[in-house]
């Protein structure tokens, strides 16, 4: 059964990005375990890589895959990028 309700991309995107920002808030250095303080650096002061501080459950992985499909179908490149980054940070494998 398909839902035939039309929804604006501009209405959906903020909801989806809010979901991501609430789920993947803090980044922690894999090397020194420090918490990322600024939004700009891609590496920690100790030259370590950052990772998310929360574990990713199966439900979240399923949700991310669903949002990836939505992004591809509706041609939402920014959403696709956010989903891809979230999957990489949460070490979610592509099916």
Domain boundaries, the chain: 23-54, 56-90
Q: Which long-range contacts (CB under 8 A, 24 or more apart) does 17-22 make?
A: 17/79, 17/82, 19/63, 20/82, 20/83, 20/86
Q: 43-54: per-residue pLDDT in tens?
A: 888 999 888 776
Quick one: pLDDT at residue 78?
Answer: 84
At 31, the pLDDT band (50, 70, 90 cuts) reads very high
Q: What is the pLDDT of residue 32?
A: 93
Tell whether the model's pLDDT for residue 6 goes beyond 90: no
């Amino acid at each position: 059964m398909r839902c035939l309700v039309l929804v604006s991309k501009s209405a959906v995107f903020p909801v989806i990005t809010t979901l991501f920002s609430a789920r993947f808030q803090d980044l922690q250095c894999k090397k020194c375990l420090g918490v990322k303080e600024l939004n700009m650096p891609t590496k920690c002061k100790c030259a370590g890589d950052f990772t998310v501080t929360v574990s990713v459950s199966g439900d979240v992985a399923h949700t991310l895959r669903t949002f990836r499909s939505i992004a591809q179908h509706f041609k939402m490149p920014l959403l696709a990028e956010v989903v891809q980054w979230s999957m990489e940070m949460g070490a979610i494998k592509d099916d």
